[in-house]
Copies of this chain bind each other. A is one copy, B any other.
Amino acid sequence: MSVGGMRAPLVVESGPEEEEEDVEVEVLHSEEELRLSVHPAVGVLGSGDFSRSLCTRLLASGHRALVGSRDPSRLPRGLFPEGTELGSQMEAALGAERVVFVALFPEHYPSLVGLREALAGKVLVDVSNADRLGRGAGGSNAHRLARLFPQSHVVKGFNGVSAWSLQTGAHDGSRQVLICGDGPDSKAGVVQLAHRMGFSPLDMGCLGAAGALEEAPLRAFPSWRGPVLTTLLLFLFLYGYGSMKYVLFPYLAFGQNHFYQLPLETVNQTLPAVAMVTLALVYLPGLLAAGLQLSRGTKYRRFPSWLDCWLGSRKQLGLLSFLCAGLHGIYSMCLSIRRAAQYSLLNAAYRQVRAEIPNSWVEEKVWRSDLYLSSGILGFGVLCVLALTSLPSVGNTLNWREFTFVQSGLGYAALTLTVMHTLFFGWDMAFSPGSYSFFLPPMFVLALVLPCVVLVGRLLLALPCLACRLTKIRRGWETKRPRTDQEVGITNGVVADG
């Protein structure tokens, strides 16, 4: 039986009340009572897809499912799972022991007001999604329902659950069900029900959170927007820069036709530059945060919100950097199967034969190419390990120390290898005037700026004087208000780790 006097008559008969979770009931006086209490009746208003899937799950987890429809005679009975009890909305409302799911479109909530008395004291679960973003505080469907039924307890929840995972059990769908609501005991009842249905309920706080819950399914990849946009703009800028410097200007100035480079070579020149800058953007905010803490002399002041936001985007930036690096790798490995490469080689062979040079080996170029390939491959290998630990199922198995080692240690290793890759690639080009045609520096020089800044910043922070101070600050010490050690407590790395 559920909480809160829903089955008052029974309680009177049986004397003591009982409560259960996954768990049982003891002092029962009759067969009928047993049946009722072990199969609590759950009401479902509405007869759409969600309602049907819900019934499947409710019945499978040992509940009775009372479906209430405005016109039960027209209900397509065959679509509901066997065992569903179909009836009028009033029957469902009255029959439900404690919890009633409201599976209607929000615009039809007002049509339920006739049930107000029947639903008094019961828990109404609002499972609806928002139809658009930004309805403001109090504008959520759940609030609307709560205003319509002041005597009932409205709990928001289950709206993110797909009908599919309701039907099949949470086998391979997510098991997480977000729930919020104002009444702690009504919420607890729904939490318990979700547990029985095989889900992992997560309490998201009071009903004020309902708006966020309802809008969540409308938002697609909210945490990816900024990073993707940044990476895209960076790509467009550098691609434009590259096509001007290497394709457009040579054509305008000397009539050289390099347009064939646009679909592949210029892209493959731009991708590594984007990957490097993005990887530097992953580690820059941590340095800025450390700098702020050092200059403020305390960690107990909030970072400016743009920095908080940037710190929160590091994982996404890192993965986008990895994507660019991976594409660059594939493009590079395809370089030699291009027609252009074959033609160049054939023409070079022709020229070599004509010039009667038996051996065209240039030791320095051989070393250079092998070194930049090696450092590039190793850097990419390290990035792969980093990306792997971004998978939730892998990252969750790491403790804090391991996570720091991977994300910070391996991350800087990858950045260093990448910079080496670029330096070996650039070698002497950076200092040859020919590379600065049209007064534009080569793209790899542009790409090196930010990573080098980050590496230098990291080295500065590793200086003993700064490192000690930073460690002290992160353990809770403050310049102005030296705190008693005892209050410090245990730090587990909430702040950005530079």
Determine how many copies of this chain the complex contains.
3
Q: Which residues of B contact A5 (CB under 8 A)?
A: 26
Chain B residue nearest to A198 in the complex (CB): B202
Is A251 an interface position by the 8 A CB rule? no
Is A349 an interface position by the 8 A CB rule? yes
Q: Which residues of B contact A260 (CB under 8 A)?
A: 363, 366-367, 370
Known A20-B23, A349-B353, A353-B349; contact A169-B373, beta-carbon cutoff 8 A: no
Contact A22–B493 (Cβ < 8 Å)? no
Known A263-B371, A332-B334; contact A188-B23, beta-carbon cutoff 8 A: yes
Q: Give the number of residues in A that approach B within 8 Å (Cβ atoms).
A: 166
Is A377 an interface position by the 8 A CB rule? yes
Contact B396–A394 (Cβ < 8 Å)? no
Contact B189–A24 (Cβ < 8 Å)? yes
30 of the cross-chain contacts (CB-CB < 8 Å) are A11-B26, A11-B27, A16-B16, A18-B19, A19-B19, A21-B21, A22-B191, A23-B188, A38-B184, A48-B490, A49-B491, A50-B490, A61-B203, A70-B484, A70-B487, A74-B481, A108-B486, A164-B492, A164-B494, A173-B396, A217-B399, A221-B405, A264-B374, A330-B380, A337-B373, A339-B369, A340-B370, A343-B362, A346-B352, A391-B394
Per a CB cutoff under 8 Å, which of B15, B162, B191, B491 touches A400? B162
- Interface hits, A58-72 → B, CB 8 Å: 60-62, 69-71
Whole-angstrom CA separation of A1 from B26 in the bound complex: 9
Whole-angstrom CA separation of A2 from B351 in the bound complex: 89
Per a CB cutoff under 8 Å, which of B188, B192, B391 touches A391? B391
Contact A49–B494 (Cβ < 8 Å)? yes
Contact B352–A340 (Cβ < 8 Å)? no
Whole-angstrom CA separation of A74 from B487 in the bound complex: 10
Chain B residue nearest to A108 in the complex (CB): B486
Is A469 an interface position by the 8 A CB rule? no
Contact B343–A366 (Cβ < 8 Å)? yes
Contact A401–B104 (Cβ < 8 Å)? no
- Interface hits, A87-112 → B, CB 8 Å: 103-105, 108, 111
Chain B residue nearest to A5 in the complex (CB): B26
Chain B residue nearest to A23 in the complex (CB): B188
Per a CB cutoff under 8 Å, which of B48, B53, B327 touches A487? B48
Q: Which residues of B contact A15 (CB under 8 A)?
A: 15-16
Is A464 an interface position by the 8 A CB rule? no
Per a CB cutoff under 8 Å, which of B2, B24, B184 touches A3? B24
Contact B192–A22 (Cβ < 8 Å)? yes
Contact A198–B189 (Cβ < 8 Å)? no
Is A163 an interface position by the 8 A CB rule? yes
- Interface hits, A121-172 → B, CB 8 Å: 127-129, 159-164, 167, 169-172
Whole-angstrom CA separation of A489 from B128 in the bound complex: 9
